[in-house]
């Protein structure tokens, strides 16, 4: 197991390096002069030239790349051009908000998807099955930003029961406060801010996971040992939960891992609609300001998290299904 994990870690290095280089070149393809966006329309051409020189933008591209990689190896992501703050600090400030959002979104997705998926597999071709499959289809075919705004108008403006934007107290701090004071207010306030963006973000994953659970369950339900169990007279619900679902878990775990990555990516749009102060907002703003160090840092961080999650998924996989290790 240890060598397996180590090997996977080593494999991460070329991938991350490749991403860094890809992002670097991609960003330098984007037109728009950071010096100009920083100084604005009142700047004279001489001012712009001087700033470009200071920012190192006049160096040949390969020198800039080497400088970037050199700093990267020293775990230095550089300074934000616009914020006058180290990129790593910006990421540290924004990442928890995104992780919190993605985690709750995933939770919502699972709460919706697992029961729906199981029910529609067990009652295949019933109206329940058709309804949940219809939900799953709607979930993937509705643009996220549209759903987000409709939810805001419905729940915040018309019903006025949920806040329309922003993040409350960080959830874990709120839980801590609630435990300390015994007052549910803190957790509820935090959750109130979370619920709409998390639902918006999670709905597409919910749809995909529902389909996944359903097809995995259908597969398993056809297996002989389920039939044997049924034949032995084990009650239906126990067979489903204990035998069938457990075996259907392997593909489900995989897709959950993949979905978490998608959630991090999907957060870009959700965070813009709901003014959620996460890493998606950070990176979108940075792209629009041509704040390259921030974009590079964020992309690397997202890629790293994504890779780590995949690693965890693989380890879980190996635990659930020990045969894989030997491959």
Partner 1 sequence: MELSKQVQPENKTSNLPKRSIPFRELLSLLTKSKSALIGGIFVLIVLFCAIFAPIIATHDPYEMDMSNRLLTPMEDGHILGTDQYGRDLFTRIIYGARVSLEVGLVSVVLAMVIGVTLGLISGYYGGWVDTIIMRIVDIFLSFPVLLLAIALVAALGPGIENVILALGFVYWTNYARIVRANVLSVKEEEYIQAAKTIGSNNFRIIFYNILPNCLAPIVVVATLGLGTAIVSEATLSFLGLGIQPPESSWGWALAFGMKFIREAPHLSIYPGLAIMFTVLGFNLLGDGIRDLTDSKLKRN
Partner 2 sequence: MRKKNGYSILLAFTLIFAVFLTGCSYEEPTNSSNGTSDSKTNESASKREEIKVGLDVDAGTMDPRLSKDTTATRVTELVYDGLVYLTANLEAEPALATEWDNSDPTGWIFTLREDVTFHDGEPFTAEDVKYTYDSLIDPDFQAPYASLFEPIESVEVVSEYQVKFNLKDPSAPLLNYMDIGIVPKHIGEKNDTTLSNAPIGTGAYKMVGWDKNSKISFEANEDYWNGAPTTKKLTYFIIPDNSTRVASLESGDIDLVHSPLSPQDIKRLKDNDQFVVEELEGLGFTYLNFNQKHPILADLKVRQAISHLVNKEVISADIYQGMDTPGTSPIIPASWAFDDSIAGFPYDTDRAAELFKEAGWEDTDGDSILDKDGEKLSIILSTHSEDPNRMQAVEYLQNEFTKYGVETEVQTSEWPTFSTALQEGNFDISLVGWLNLIDPDRSFYNPFHTNGGSNYGKYSNPAVDKLVEDGRTALDLEERKSIYQEAAKIVTEEVAYNVLLYQGYIVMHNKNLKGFDPHPRGSLYGLKNAEAIN
Asked if 51 is part of the footprint of partner 2 (rule: CB under 8 A), the reply reads: yes
Residue 216 binds: one of partner 1, partner 2, none (C-beta under 5 to 8 A by kind): partner 1
Q: Residue numbers of the site for partner 1 (CB under 8 A)?
A: 8, 11, 14-15, 18-19, 22-23, 26-27, 29-31, 137-138, 140-146, 149-150, 153, 211-212, 215-216, 250-251, 254-255, 258, 261-262, 264-266, 268-269, 272, 283-284, 287, 295, 299, 302-303, 306-307, 310, 313-314, 317-318, 324, 327
3-class state of residue 170 by DSSP: coil
CA separation for the pair 66, 263 (Å, rounded): 32
The answer to whether residue 262 forms part of the interface with partner 2 (CB under 8 A) is no
| Segment 264 to 303, residues that bind partner 2, using CB under 8 A | 272-275, 277-278, 281-282, 285, 288-290
Spell out the SS3 assignment of 273-299. HHCCCCHHHHHHHHHHHCCHHHHHHHH
Closest CA to 306 of 15, 4, 1: 15
End-to-end CA distance of the chain: 12
d(CA 101, CA 95): 10
Contact region with partner 2 (CB under 8 A), list: 46-54, 63-71, 135-143, 219-227: 46-54
Alpha carbon distance 53, 48 (integer Å): 9
Indicate the angle between helix axes 292-320 and 279-289, nearest 10 degrees. Answer: 150
- Contacts of residues 238-245 at CB distance under 8 Å and 24 or more positions apart, as own/partner, are 240/118, 240/122, 244/217, 244/220, 245/118, 245/217, 245/220
80: left (phi over 0), alpha (psi -120 to 50) or beta: beta
| Cβ-based nearer residue to partner 1, 48 or 269 | 269
Binding of partner 2 by 184 (CB under 8 A): yes
Q: Are 146 and 200 in contact (CB under 8 A)?
A: no
Specify the residue, 167 or 290, whose C-beta has the smaller distance to partner 1: 290
Whichever of 222 and 242 has its CB closer to partner 1, that residue is 222
Residue of 49, 64, 78, 93 interacting with partner 2 (CB under 8 A): 93
| Of positions 19, 23, 27, 34, contacts partner 2 by CB under 8 A | 34
Chain residues binding partner 2 by CB under 8 A are 30-34, 36-45, 47-48, 50-51, 54, 82-85, 90, 93-94, 149, 152-153, 156-157, 160, 163-169, 177-178, 181-186, 188-189, 193, 272-275, 277-278, 281-282, 285, 288-290
């Amino acid at each position: 197991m240890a060598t397996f994990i180590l090997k996977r870690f080593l494999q991460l290095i070329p991938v991350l390096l490749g991403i860094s280089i890809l992002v670097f070149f991609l960003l330098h393809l984007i037109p728009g002069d950071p010096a100009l966006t920083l100084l604005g329309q009142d700047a004279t051409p001489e001012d712009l030239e001087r700033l470009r020189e200071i920012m190192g933008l006049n160096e040949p591209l390969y020198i800039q790349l080497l400088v970037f990689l050199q700093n990267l190896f020293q775990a230095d992501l550089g300074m934000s051009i616009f914020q006058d703050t180290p990129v790593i600090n910006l990421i540290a400030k924004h990442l928890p908000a995104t992780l919190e959002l993605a985690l709750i979104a995933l939770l919502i997705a699972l709460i919706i998807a697992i029961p729906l998926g199981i029910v529609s597999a067990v009652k295949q071709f019933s109206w329940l099955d058709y309804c949940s499959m219809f939900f799953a289809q709607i979930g993937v075919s509705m643009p996220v930003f549209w759903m987000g705004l409709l939810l805001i108008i419905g729940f915040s403006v018309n019903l006025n029961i949920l806040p329309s934007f922003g993040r409350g107290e960080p959830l874990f701090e709120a839980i801590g406060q609630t435990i300390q004071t015994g007052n549910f207010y803190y957790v509820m306030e935090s959750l109130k801010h979370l619920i709409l963006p998390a639902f918006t973000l999670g709905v597409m994953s919910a749809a995909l996971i529902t389909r996944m659970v359903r097809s995995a369950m259908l597969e398993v339900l056809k297996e002989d040992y389920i039939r044997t169990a049924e034949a032995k007279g084990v009650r239906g619900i126990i067979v489903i939960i204990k035998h069938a679902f457990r075996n259907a878990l392997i593909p489900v775990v995989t897709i959950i891992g993949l979905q978490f990555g998608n959630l991090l990516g999907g957060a870009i749009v959700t965070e813009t609609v709901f003014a959620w102060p996460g890493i998606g907002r950070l990176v979108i703003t940075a792209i629009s300001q041509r704040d390259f160090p921030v974009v590079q840092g964020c992309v690397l961080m997202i890629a790293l998290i994504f890779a780590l999650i995949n690693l965890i998924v693989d380890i879980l996989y190996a635990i659930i299904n020990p045969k894989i290790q030997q491959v």
